[in-house]
Amino acid sequence: MTSVHPPPGGGPYGIQVRREAVRRSWLVVSAIDDEAIGRAPTWGADVIVLDLEDSVHDTKKAAARERVKAAIATVAQGGAEVFVRPDIELLHADLRASIWHGLTGVVLPKVKSAAQVREAEAVIEQFEAERGLAGVIELHLALETGPGNYNAIEVIGAGSRVRSAGLGRADLVMDLRGEPTGQLHMMPYILERMIASARAAGVEPVGAYWRADARGTVAGPEASLKAARDGRALGTTGSFCAKGDQVEPLNRGYTPSPGEGEHAKAIVGAFEQAQAEGEGHGVLDGATVGPGLARAAAKVVEYAGLCAARDAAKKAAVKG
């Protein structure tokens, strides 16, 4: 899996490309649901999130924790990275059950403060040290509260393990007073602010642009595809979902289309040709191609290749 934070790779003529991990679809699976755990590897998700939080009733928390270690190995069989979502009020117990070989990271829910991030990192470090994992576990922050969003830069910057951040529309609606329609009128602003905060902090922004009538992470395939395309247009790199039939639309919506990839290659080619001829700008279809546009296009080309490689690796894992 490509790291989120390696140094940029250099292309010809100074075009720099920042490689990203391919995490277009984050499929949430209840850690207490054996049937869902068994089916999860077949859906083709880039990430599978084993949930110990909202989908597990208080009376079943202990039983769910007992399943996590085996579930990590099961859901990874389709080539997905595996995260766990603990209950933030039961953090120590949930992470004790979850920090094992095969786990990529932790989704920290309902984050409100930098102190919570530091506490999570300390607990993760403790269990990594006990189990010989040597600092491999990442953090994804779910900024599902008003305070968490307001303090986004401080919260995201509080931990060295934080690699991505996102929103939770349903929880935000409850926390910030939604309209009778179920919509949160400030959602576009909050989403855009989260994206800017994540990028400023050097982490990936995650979250499709879900409308209230799409029912978010349990939306149908068509609504999921639209939410993914809208989210990618705003600048997010992937989205959470709760149903297997959402995975393919999310993967497709967050992957550059063949036409987009070919156009991006043409932009890069025009700029490289101009550079080779000693010119500072190229021309494509009558439009000027400068270094900024060429860098953006090179990133699209690179990311399309990473998506193709990621899909191929998942297919190989299933066949294996």
141-164 residue pLDDT tens: 999 888 888 899 999 999 999 999
Over 60: is that where the pLDDT of 186 sits? yes
The answer to whether the CB of 124 falls within 8 A of the CB of 87 is no
CA distances from 206 to 26, 27, 200 (A): 9, 13, 14
Do 273 and 166 share a structural domain?
no
For 139, the domain range is: 9-253
- Asked if residue 20 and residue 157 are part of one domain, the reply reads yes
Write out pLDDT tens, residues 41-70: 999 999 999 999 989 999 999 999 999 999
In a domain, 2, yes or no: no
Distance CA 102, CA 124 (A): 14
State the CATH number of the domain containing residue 118: 3.20.20.60
156: tokens are 């995201």
Owner of token pair 């290749």: 305
**Residue 3 or residue 267, greater confidence:** 267
Burial 165-198 (b: 16+ CB within 10 A, else e): bbbbbbbbbebeebeeeeebeebeebbebbbebb
Q: Is 46 part of a structural domain of the chain?
A: yes
Check whether residue 107 and residue 190 sit in a common domain: yes
- Amino acid identity for residue 11 in this structure: G
Considering 253, 286, 311, which residue would you say is the last residue of a domain? 253
Q: Is 90 part of any domain?
A: yes
Give the pair of three-digit tokens for residue 235.
């600048």
What is the distance between the alpha carbons of residues 43 and 25, in angstroms, rounded to a whole number? 10
Tokens of 13: 């003529």
Residue whose structure tokens are 């389709």: 78
Inform me whether the pLDDT recorded for 1 exceeds 80: no
Q: Is residue 214 within 8 Å of 183, Cβ to Cβ?
A: no
- Across the chain, mean pLDDT equals 88
Q: Is residue 164 part of a domain?
A: yes
Strands (DSSP E) found in 254-318: 282-284, 287-289
Q: Is residue 214 part of a domain?
A: yes
52 and 182 belong to one structural domain: yes
Q: In terms of domains, do 138 and 62 share one?
A: yes
First to last CA, the chain: 17
Residue type, 58: D
Residue 287 CB-density burial (10 A; 0-12 exposed, 13-18 middle, 19+ buried): exposed
220 within a domain of the structure (yes/no): yes
Residues 37 and 168 placed together within one structural domain of the fold: yes
Q: Say yes or no: 286 and 241 in one domain.
A: no
Are residues 117 and 102 part of one domain?
yes
Classify 139 as helix, strand or coil.
strand
Please tell me the total count of domains within the chain.
2
Residue at 262 is within a domain: yes
Helix or strand run (H / E) with residue 206: strand 204-206
Q: Which of 253, 269, 285 is the endpoint of a domain?
A: 253
User: Is this model's pTM higher than 0.85 or not?
Assistant: yes
151/277 same-domain check: no
Q: Which two tokens stand for residue 114?
A: 């930098």
The pair of structure tokens assigned to 8 is: 């940029």
Q: Are residues 16 and 123 in the same domain?
A: yes
Is residue 182 over pLDDT 70? no
Examine the fold and report which residue of 198, 229, 253 is the final residue of a domain before the chain moves on: 253
List pLDDT tens digits, range 275-319.
999 999 999 999 999 999 999 999 999 999 999 999 999 999 987
Look up residue 212 and give its two tokens.
């209230």
